[in-house]
Structure 1
Amino acid sequence: MSLVVRPARASTTAVAAVSRPVFVGAPAGARPGFALVVAALDLAVLLVAFVTAHLVRFPVEVPDGSVTAGWVEFVVAPAIVVVWMTLLSSFGTRNARIAGVGNEEYRRLVTASLVAGAIVAIVAYAVQLDIARGYVAIAFPLGMALLAVERKAVRTVLARRRGRGERLQDVLLVGDAEDVRYVGRRIATTPVAGYRVTGVVTDCLSVGETVELGSARVAVLGGIDDVLDRASATGVSAVVVAGAVRGGHERLRRLGWQLEERGVELVVSSPLADIATGRVHERPVDGLPLMHVEIPDYRRRTGKRLLDVVGAGLGLLLLAPLFAVIALVIRLDDGGPVFFRQTRVGRGGRDFSILKFRTMCVDAEARVAALEAANEGAGPLFKMQHDPRVTRVGAFLRRSSLDELPQLWNVLVGSMSLVGPRPALPKEVAVYEDFADRRLLVTPGITGLWQVSGRSDLDWAEGVRLDLHYVENWSFLHDLVILARTIPSVLRSRGAY
């Protein structure tokens, strides 16, 4: 989370005292035509929605000299589109500062659309305008759906361009060395957010030293007292304050004013990491925005369990023929057992037996010690991209993630969930440190953030961070999103070995 302080409109006295340049801090993706392009796409999809509604509700007919049905809707549709477009603009849905990341854009989109529907309903009732309910029931839901799909497409294109280093907002990173490294790495690994660190300002390192931020190294340009000069010299559009700065709140407040005079945004990184915005509520106290963080709920959720039972039950029923084929192929491959059972640690530290299709030779566990030197896994995990113990059939099952399907039985009996942290081995739990055991507060899952973010390609620390993020910020909707993301992740076979 971060707090962005934008340059305010210049007052007469401020202009007299300081010569202000035109604001150059255009946010990532905020070229002059960005909002116009999005507006044109909005208009196109709304026209499609209303034309479709008209054709469905009032099929093309040529009655005997009578007035064609649907003429009222044909006349008022352009006015509705204008109202809807105006509200999309008024609610800031095309603001490039929220484009490409987070849920704020979609929240505003839904709010603007619902308000548009309410206005149409109120006006139609007030002037006794007889608009067919079927027409409205088609046009508005379809319009909202098409707008969401269109914005998703825009995000995809924008994310790809940002991933190539285009349409990024150059920023200066300010703070203590550790805070700078932490925030800088997160920025570097998330180009979709639209920031690019071009310099570091800190009192903890010497000028000219470089700081490793992800795959790049960024030079230290000066100390905290040099922020204004460095911002002007480098032409950045924003200064990101990572953590506390010398001088405290008053120094930060004055820094915001001084950057404002130069047309540079001030972005303040929150000290709260990996906490979903839904758990954070602002409580202003005499102009001081205090952030209240709700305690997460780790209780077993009825809705989640119902989804697990229904999903696992249907999965086992529908996939039974596939299970039979896989079992036959495994038996024909080397004659060994079909299933592989292994002890894992579940919710509350309780052991359970995880069920998988066997993908390795029957003496795989006994050969681990001999292969220890070739271990490519992170932390206590043992992983090899080209493990000689994997059978021919097993290699295919792993790439396609079909070996995980028997875990649906674990889900059905309650030892696992469809979505959750990665089920841990006892030897992993034995070396847990620094609150990593919080992963055991919830039921482990067949899939999770670790699954859709790289699986075996993730290092140990990143895998733990993703699991803890899931544990602390669970929501039913988040589970559905992860399930939806699992399908393309499995098809890409990223990190599956």
Structure 2
Amino acid sequence: MLREKEKVVNNFLAFVEVAIAWLSFNASLFLYFGHFSFIKYKDSIILHLIIALFWYLLGKYFRLAQVHRSRPYSAILFNCLALVLTGTSILGLSVLVFNLYYIGFEPLVYFALINLVLMFGFKMSLYEFFKRARKHGRNSRAIVIVGDYTAAPFIEQVIKYKEWGYKIVSIIGDEVLSKTYGGIAPVLGPDYDVASLIENKTIDEVIFIKEHMEVEEIEEMAHVCSEVGVIFRMYSPFFNMLKSKAHIHHYNTMPLLTIANIPTDYLAIQVKAIFDFIFSFFVIVLASPVFITLSLLVKFTSEGPIFFKQKRVGLRGRKFYAYKFRTMVVNAEELKATLMEENEMDGPVFKMKNDPRITKIGRFLRKTSLDELPQFFNVLMGDMSVVGPRPPVPQEVKEYERWHLRRLSMKPGITCTWQVSGRNDIPFEEWMKMDLAYIDNWSLKLDFVIFLKTIRTMIIADGH
């Protein structure tokens, strides 16, 4: 669960940096004047508000609010120093603008030193905590390394620096890599199909390191990854192919090209994660009487369990169990084979408007979408989001075309564009295109619009 918590922690760090800055400011005034600013000078609240605003924005700008896997302490110190110098300069300018001459500039020097020491100390402690967690196998990322003998130094670093949290799933390379690292991970031939490997295994990143390469080879590899939402990194002197969604990420002194055609707005993603957790928690608490009532109705109107548990496919192929209120008879899966000719959906999905397997209370739950309520527990556990592409079952994924797989590059949701745009009336291919359009155009505003439309859909009760 550390992987899911990290997103919330990173967003929380920005506010911690503000708190450290406030503490440093008051400590500097106490050392210089012998009292705290709030006690002696009430209008110093202006400076506290300025600190809150600029330390939050600068923390995001210098990426100090993120817990990087491979960032050296020298880089962290440099960014802390840059933030403190920039922020203190703005604070000094504010003293002049708001005529706070009684504070003076000397306390700001104390403030800068205290803030630098406390912030860097906090960052070092935090990084050490996450490093220890990754050394014990938590918060890991599954990677595939594609390369020749020049990839050896990077593989050595991955093996050495366990705090990076990288787990090598496979190495696609030559005989040199096979002889040296065959005991670390399966070494496949240089012509092995990376696309099939990504489709059949849970892969978070593909790292490409070769001495000699062709632009066509790089473009094909990047396309193979971006098509299904897997991060692609590359070590090469040729960075003229950078696109709008590409950037350079350093592992120690080694620059790797990173291409990701998934949402990258860090702040917005953290807001989404926080909203998911808080909203699902309050729904579960406040709607507990509804949960109890529906549970009793399901239990006493048909034989079988209250909840229906089904294995689903989540972010980049990760399996999890999704929960719903049971809306069908207990032998629904057995009866499905006899109803395949009545399927009203094209593609690998089965949908039937007047499905005889649905119970009376189940029909009501489906029309109002109340059968989805237990999935808020999935959101709370981090397997799902409130808004996102619907999670498919494993059998459906096996029948996907390659371009369909990119819908798995975002965390699945309880509701999505398909849910509020006609559901069963939408062909399968159009459904897939709607999910990809959601990923390509994702924003908090789009999530908000889909959320409001979902409420409308539940009131109208036009579900099947």
Over alpha carbons, which structure has the higher Rg?
Answer: 1
Structure with the higher helix share, 1 or 2: 2
TM-score range, shorter chain: 0.3 to 0.5
Name the TM-score, length of structure 2 as normaliser.
0.45
